[in-house]
Amino acid sequence: MSLIVSLKNIVKRYTRGKQSVEVLHALNLEVPQGEFLALMGPSGSGKTTLLNLIGGLDRPTEGEVTVAGQRIDRLSGGALAKWRARHVGFVFQFYNLMPMLTAERNIELPLLLTPLSRAARRKNVQAALEIVGLADRARHKPSELSGGQQQRVAIARALVADPTLLVCDEPTGDLDRTTADEILGLLQTLNRQQHKTVIVVTHDQKAADFASRQLHVDKGTLTDAASLA
C-alpha cells in the first residue's frame, strides 16, 4: 500500500526570546493510504505541531515532509497554499464557520478558489451535505444548528474539494460524549466507505479507539500505543 505521509528525521524548534525550544526531536512517521490514525498525547506534547506539519500549516526546522507524493517542506508559500487547497481538508475543534453564511455557503467556500462552475460547485456541496447527513439543513445558518451539526458542516466543508486526506485537531473537544461519538463514527465511515485517509489529534482515549492505529506523542517523540499496553 502506498504512503500518503512520510516524515523523516523531523526536528521543530521555536524561538522564544533568546531561548530555542525544541518541540519535535528527530521524529519519523509513515501513514499508509486509507489509514485512520489517532495521535494522542498530553497538552504541550507536540501533537498539534506534528499535525500542522502534515497539513502544510507549518514547516520543520530540519527533516523531510512528504505528503501525497510531494516534498512540501520545499514548496514556496504560494505553491504550498495551492497544494493545501488540493490535498488537505481541515477540521478543527471550534468549527470556524462564517456566522452570516448558510451551511451550504460555508461548505462552498473552498470551491471558490477552484475553476469549477457555479453549477458544479452546487453539485459538490449537495453531495457533501448528503454524506454528513445534513441535506435538510442546507439553508440554516450556524446559529440555527447544534454543535454536532456545525461540526458536520465543517467536515462537509473539509470534504467538498475531495482532498487526499483529512486532518482533524481535537474535532470532538467541544462536544458531549454522545455527539462526539456520532462525529467520530462519521469520520470512521468516511475512512471505511469513502477510503479517506484520516489523521486525528486527540487527548481522549474513547475518541482514539475509533481509529485503526494509535500513536502517542510524548515530549516530541512518537510511541506506538501497543507498546504502552
Cα–Cα distance, 42 to 54 (Å, whole number): 19
pLDDT digits (tens, 9 = 90+) for 41-60: 888 888 889 999 999 999 99
Give which of 113, 93, 120, 91 is closest to 196, Cα–Cα: 91
C-alpha cell at 47: 501533537
526570546: which residue's cell?
A: 17
Position 115 scores a pLDDT of 82
Q: What is the mean pLDDT of residues 25-44?
A: 91
Cα–Cα distance, 211 to 92 (Å, whole number): 17
Mean pLDDT, the chain, rounded, equals 89
pLDDT digits (tens, 9 = 90+) for 125-144: 999 999 888 999 999 999 99
Dump the DSSP string for 53-92.
HHTTSS--SEEEEEETTEEGGGS-HHHHHHHHHHHEEEEE
Q: Which domains does the chain have, with CATH numbers?
A: 34-62+74-228 (3.40.50.300)
Residues 98 and 108 sit within 8 Å (Cβ to Cβ): no
pLDDT band at 39; cut points 50, 70, 90:
very high
Q: How far apart are the first and last CA of the chain?
A: 27
pLDDT band at 1; cut points 50, 70, 90:
low
pLDDT digits (tens, 9 = 90+) for 153-169: 999 999 888 889 999 99
